[in-house]
Structure 1
């Protein structure tokens, strides 16, 4: 069977040298000449092992050959690389922050809430009760501060608009699926160009947060269910889907996707996902689908 290894570095600090490419070629059986996706940033190396290969083991072998070079490696079958359904987590994935931590900062509790968030994202505590506990601490906060947080504190992860725009331009459907809050996902989805967004609803009365979230909570199981629902609605095969996230509540969704990508993720998530991006930005998800820089679009 034919496979492809994609080597990816961060576009803001290109690190893909001739030496790195040569090191990868040396460990891949029957490797062909590299296909440059962007000079210094990303290449595809097509190769053909004699027997059915373990993509994860091959990726680890290439990483070993690269040493400590800041280069991500994704190995997969050549066929079916370009996906038609894309699901993405929001906090610390499509944006650089955890929204609930930023809200907590306004009431002087960021350190406390961030510690709970970190434990939940590592899978050390269950997501749903951890969310209820954190939201309760926001009781009495004016709902108007959400707009302030969005304007002053929230930044889009580099490559996000290109990722969604390029996939949509090539016929994919994109959904933002977050364990965060609709007050944030609605705005972020519009900025980036997602087709739809799903998240939890913060309960508000007379313009004030009640310190509670509507039930049932959108967590790990709901993210998985959303992937299956959209896949079936669009009449797609599992192999035609891609998902990205960074936390433990993304694991089921990443595992069900045809290509599940752990993005700058917690260790357990990175270890379990089909692919991991530790160095690149979100354009890495385009390079692993075989897109070259000249094909990038924004929504």
Structure 2
């Protein structure tokens, strides 16, 4: 058995019952269950529809996300999340670069790296090198003034924790940011790279080894073994090329507002919903959400 989930941006509530009913009828689905009025609904299917991706493309033009997944085991026991442009709305290194006066140069490298056009490690060291000499105190300034949480993050982490789930924040960014964001959202642990500083100034380098694509896969393996879970028990979320390894290994890998080159390699794509989409995909109704 499979489950088809339709959802939309919670600020727009643009999911129409006639649309859901017509798709259920066309696919011969079971009764529609509304997880949130005008926002998210699901119905069961006995098999995968042949025209799933054609319908998906049509719905994208209507601001609606569609995910079809196996019904068995979709409620997960662990969340593994990227941070930049996933749990927060910014790329931390880009914000630091703006403060250092090299914003445009760094943003171009970031975009190319996230699209998979550049190797992550080389792109990271090149960008960090441009921050050499920046006052270390700027990190706190950026955290206070420039970093905002992605909508739905507190509900996602809070609901999974309330239901016995474990949450890990694993980023190719920096520990100074993951520590703050992880604590604010209620993550159980966080992993990232360490910006090096001397005399209150950034040295233009990061600690080794550099945490990139493989390190996210390693985190998935290590944490699941430690907790006695299987990789199928994990829901992972990210947006960039360096997230593809963990997204492919996790039981459910969600490409959230991802770069097109990344999204096309993932079966679960959320382009319109926020982080609460990960709860709807697990069958949680909005009435079951818990915020930290």
What is the TM-score of this pair, normalised by structure 1? 0.95
Instruction: Say whether the 8 Å CA contact 2:220–2:231 is kept in structure 1.
Output: no
- Offset at residue 61 of structure 1 (A): 4.1
1:94 alignment partner, SS class = coil
Aligned twin of 1:260: 253
Could you list the per-position Cα deviations for residues 230-266 of structure 1 after superposition, in whole angstroms to 9, with x for gaps in the alignment? 1111111222111000000000010000000000001
Aligned length: 292
Aligned twin of 1:23: 22
Q: What does 1:204-283 correspond to in 2, within 5 Å? A: 204-283=197-276
| Rounded Cα–Cα distance in structure 1 between residues aligned with 2:172 and 2:111 | 14
Aligned twin of 2:90: 97
Instruction: Say whether the 8 Å CA contact 2:78–2:166 is kept in structure 1.
Output: yes
Instruction: Say whether the 8 Å CA contact 1:5–1:59 is kept in structure 2.
Output: no
| Rounded Cα–Cα distance in structure 2 between residues aligned with 1:9 and 1:212 | 41
| Rounded Cα–Cα distance in structure 1 between residues aligned with 2:52 and 2:157 | 26
Of 65-74 and 289-298, more deviation after overlay is shown by 65-74
Aligned twin of 1:149: 142
Aligned twin of 1:38: 36
Instruction: Say whether the 8 Å CA contact 1:238–1:257 is kept in structure 2.
Output: yes
| Rounded Cα–Cα distance in structure 2 between residues aligned with 1:82 and 1:70 | 25
| Rounded Cα–Cα distance in structure 1 between residues aligned with 2:100 and 2:231 | 43
Instruction: Say whether the 8 Å CA contact 2:8–2:273 is kept in structure 1.
Output: yes
What is the TM-score of this pair, normalised by structure 2? 0.97
Q: 4+ runs of 1 displaced by more than 2 Å?
A: 64-67
| Rounded Cα–Cα distance in structure 1 between residues aligned with 2:29 and 2:175 | 47
| Rounded Cα–Cα distance in structure 2 between residues aligned with 1:64 and 1:119 | 25
Instruction: Say whether the 8 Å CA contact 2:157–2:167 is kept in structure 1.
Output: yes
Could you list the per-position Cα deviations for residues 176-221 of structure 1 after superposition, in whole angstroms to 9, with x for gaps in the alignment? 0000000110000011110000000000112111000011100000
Instruction: Say whether the 8 Å CA contact 1:24–1:65 is kept in structure 2.
Output: no
| Rounded Cα–Cα distance in structure 2 between residues aligned with 1:27 and 1:224 | 39
1:176 alignment partner, SS class = strand
Could you list the per-position Cα deviations for residues 160-190 of structure 1 after superposition, in whole angstroms to 9, with x for gaps in the alignment? 0000000111111000000000011000001
Instruction: Say whether the 8 Å CA contact 1:27–1:65 is kept in structure 2.
Output: no
Aligned twin of 2:71: 78
Change (3 A) 1:36 1:175: same
- Offset at residue 25 of structure 1 (A): 1.2
- Offset at residue 79 of structure 1 (A): 1.0
Give the counterpart of 2:121 among 121, 128, 131.
128
Listed as ranges, the gaps of 5+ residues in structure 1 are none
| Rounded Cα–Cα distance in structure 1 between residues aligned with 2:235 and 2:149 | 20
- Offset at residue 58 of structure 1 (A): 5.4
1:142 alignment partner, SS class = coil
